[in-house]
Structure 1
Amino acid sequence: MLQAAKHGNIEFIDAMRKANPDLLWAIDKNKRGIFSHAILNRQKVVFQLIHDATVNGRKEIVRCRVDAFGNSLLHLAGNLGPSADLHRRSGPALQMQREILWFKAVEKIVHPKCKEAKNAEDKKPREIFTESHKELVKAGEKWAKDTAGSFTLVATLITTIMFAAAFTVPGGNNQDSGIPLFLKDKTFNVFIIADAISLFTSSTSVLLFIGILTARYAEKDFLKSLPLKLLFGLIALFFSVVSMMVAFCASLAMLLKGHQGVIITAMSFASIPVIVLVPSQLRLFIEIFKSTVLTN
């Protein structure tokens, strides 16, 4: 049962639990039970199954249990998770977020006195968490800054281009009145709106990414603040690229009326950046969204 808990063999544990419920309370030589091994090895499904299966007095026993070294479940949750689990996340920042989520999940089920209890080494759970995750915090900071720095460069370039495009409209202006020559063309309205959206969203993404670059990088920042800034920054950057391509296509449509073949060819090439951007960042976007917005 303990080995099954370590490796996440949920089918075996469930079958044995139904055959003999007392097996849930088996412990090893260090007085660590199935619950302890599920937490140490970050086996979420096993953790949930045992949590749902424990009732009344026995659930209280699990909440207060300590191992041979005086570690409560919260002390064990404070240790760094196994590398196999950490590497399922896209980057150190998301790995750190997952570790914090685990610590908070265990914190909810243990007895309140366990939060400040000390183990045999005279350490509290939070102290163990901070000590064991020190290097992960540094790696997470570097990853977040490198990622935000790259996106900031792209967003800044788009902002510069779209700002300049707003003052150099397709077809030029009337020499006497200064009014754009294509002002009455419906396509011109599409160009102006797309340009404005691209300028706004790219500027927004720059500010969000700068927020990541200038963050304090405290442990709690990895839980919501940094992932949400990165998530909304990616969304804003995506819309800025799409809007920029729409503005480009609208400009071509005005300037090359009657040359449909050239317009279609140019629009096809203009869609390439969007096609490249979406698959390359989709996995990161989905992972951040799931871990930050959908995680219970």
Structure 2
Amino acid sequence: MKQVADMRVKKDNILHSAGRFVPSDQILGPALQMQRELLWFKAVESFVHPSLQEQRNESNKTPRQVFTESHKNLVREGERWMKDTGSSCIIASTLIITVVFAVAFTLPGGNTNDGIPTFLSKKSFKIFIIFDALALFSSSASLLMFLGIIASRYSEEDFLEYLPNNFVMGHVTLLFSVVCMVVAFGAAICMTLAHIWIPLFSPVALVGCLTMILFSRLQFPLLVEMFSSTYRPPMF
């Protein structure tokens, strides 16, 4: 009986199997794949008996140790992928902050001798100021989200919620800041040049819309995938 018990202890249980890494080509990015692996492991863990969670296999390893060893390369790849993505987005956010902050103090049309903006009475000026401020605040929020990604300790658990949450919020606020910046630019064009370039105003607006659509198309699939994986209901 003792030999049978020893054999049972040394065999892999279902949680050991769930902890082993299975590569997939259908998941966008190693960070997202690491999140899926964690979700799967925790889903299986919630259904097995607590004694199986600490059971050791023939290599004298618990399921969690098997998971950590099997996914250590994926964690490194996910860290590198997150940092590369975050660094690129930080550059974009910083450029937007620099532009919209400078524009706020060099208003289109300039100021009167009393310091009052020349186009203060125009509706397009109010639109310009509102969306320029929104672009500044949203790009600043995006910068903070991606700085949180860069400064993360990159433990396994960080890939479950902390990093995906920062990734989603960072991209959403970055996309929103780009939209606001384009709207502010359109309002500035309307204030200063619409009376001269009325025939060209519609094509300029169309190009601005195409720019936003192109940026959204490049980022949207990954953003949707990360959002779905992070905020959808549990697997079981």
Q: Indicate whether the TM-score tops 0.5.
A: yes
Question: Which region of structure 1 is more displaced relative to structure 2, 263-272 or 106-115?
Answer: 263-272
Q: CA deviation at 1:69?
A: 5.0
Q: Is the 8 A contact 2:10 2:60 kept in 1?
A: no
**Which residue is 1:186 aligned to?**
123
Gaps of 5+ in 2: 1-6
- Whether 2:18 is the aligned partner of 1:80: answer no
**Which residue is 2:4 aligned to?**
none
CA gap 1:209/1:170 in 2 versus in 1, 3 angstroms: same
* Corresponding residue to 1:130 among 68, 81, 93: 68
Q: Which has the higher contact order (CA 8 A, sep 6+)?
A: 2
**Which residue is 1:165 aligned to?**
103
1:239 & 1:172 partners in 2: Cα distance? 27
Identity %: 46
TM-score w.r.t. the length of structure 1 is 0.74
* Corresponding residue to 1:248 among 181, 185, 202: 185
TM-score w.r.t. the length of structure 2 is 0.93
* Corresponding residue to 1:70 among 11, 14, 36: 11
* Corresponding residue to 1:264 among 175, 198, 202: 202
Matches within 5 A, 1:1-296: 70-81=11-22, 83=23, 86-174=24-112, 176-258=113-195, 259-296=197-234
2:102 & 2:209 partners in 1: Cα distance? 21
1:116 & 1:190 partners in 2: Cα distance? 61
SS of the aligned residue for 1:80 comes to: coil
SS of the aligned residue for 1:109 comes to: coil
Cα deviations by residue, 1:134-173 (Å, 9 ceiling, x for unpaired):
1000000000000111111111100100000100111000
Q: Is the 8 A contact 1:195 1:243 kept in 2?
A: yes
1:165 & 1:108 partners in 2: Cα distance? 54
SS of the aligned residue for 2:46 comes to: helix
SS of the aligned residue for 2:172 comes to: helix
Structure 1 segments of 4+ aligned residues over 3 angstroms from their partners: 66-69
CA gap 1:253/1:74 in 2 versus in 1, 3 angstroms: same
Cα deviations by residue, 1:31-68 (Å, 9 ceiling, x for unpaired):
xxxxxxxxxxxxxxxxxxxxxxxxxxxxxxxxxxx979
Count residues in correspondence.
Answer: 227
